[in-house]
Amino acid sequence: MPTMPNAAAFFETPGLIRDLPDPRDSTLETPAVREQFRKLRRRRTPRSPLPASIDLREYLLSPSVPVPAAATTAAAVATLVQYFDRRTLGRSVQPSVGFLFEAARRMAGITGNLGAGLRTTLEALARFGCPPERFCPTESVLRGNAPDPFAFGFQRDFLELRYARLDPPSITGDDLLKSLKAALAAGFAVACGVTLPDALDATTGEIAYPTKHDTTSGAAAMVIVGYDDAYRIRSTKGALLVRTSFGSGFGQNGNGCLPYRYVEERLAYDLWTIWKPEWLASGELEQPVG
């Protein structure tokens, strides 16, 4: 069975830094967030059953080349922006992963080849914005070249960006899965960090829940873009659809499947979604009712 090549080497340098709990984090239940979502259409009530499956992959652009483990967080945040822009505004723009990677590291005071956490990367996006890839090539930044000052001129496009956490420390795994599925059903893609087993099936893109015989190779950030209650991976039923940063050769054009158990057992963590007023005003998104 083909597996992702050089998995151990890929995760040799830690990339994803987990977010520490912070009571200041906005959640979907924060009054200010609920007020912003109040005008969104509401097709479901809290008692309405969720769809058996959701697939948002049609709004994703084809993946770029694989990025190093240290840059998976930046890649996930860039994918979130690209998804919402394309779904709500019809714009097919690939944000610069390299710019977000460097901006987040500067904010956090990180040096060397280490990456940053999702919260820090979102903070960097809200503060500095993000240019399209053509104005700040990721390959150039990863080679050690600083972004051109011109790349910081896109800050205005993200002044009204907001983000919220789906997994505050108090939430249970079962409730988190329900909240996540409700957000996806409402059209909100979600970035997260995932602790990964050593062997990843590059052919199917299935990321099986590790057994006691498996070892873990590291962690990576991904974007959750759907779910399927009937999909089975090994003995677990129900899977999330994820866009990885492993490149188009992984799974189905860079997309994979992650068992629900990752969320229920908190091996998927730091779940964040984003929005801007212009995205909410498009009519494409709904209230995420769990």
- For the stretch 104-111, contacts whose Cβ atoms lie closer than 8 Å and that sit 24 or more positions apart, written own/partner, are 104/73, 104/74, 108/17
3-state SS, residue 267 = coil
pLDDT at 46: 74
Mean pLDDT across 265-285: 96
Taking the C-alpha atoms of residue 81 and residue 79, their distance in angstroms, rounded to an integer, is 5
217 phi/psi in degrees, rounded to 5 = -100, -15
Taking the C-alpha atoms of residue 187 and residue 226, their distance in angstroms, rounded to an integer, is 9
Q: How confident is the model at residue 48 (pLDDT cuts 50, 70, 90)?
A: confident
Query: For residue 74, which amino acid is it?
Result: A
pTM over the 0.85 mark: yes
Q: How confident is the model at residue 64 (pLDDT cuts 50, 70, 90)?
A: confident
Q: Is the pLDDT of residue 6 over 50?
A: no
pLDDT at 14: 52
Q: Is the pLDDT of residue 1 over 60?
A: no
pLDDT at 247: 87
SS3 percent helix, strand, coil of the chain, rounded to 5, is 35, 20, 45
Taking the C-alpha atoms of residue 88 and residue 74, their distance in angstroms, rounded to an integer, is 21
Taking the C-alpha atoms of residue 159 and residue 34, their distance in angstroms, rounded to an integer, is 20
CA 180 vs CA 73, 130, 289: distances in Å? 19, 26, 10
What topology does CATH give the domain 7-25+50-280?
A: Cathepsin B; Chain A (3.90.70)
pLDDT at 9: 41
- Residue 21 tokens, joined: 């709990």
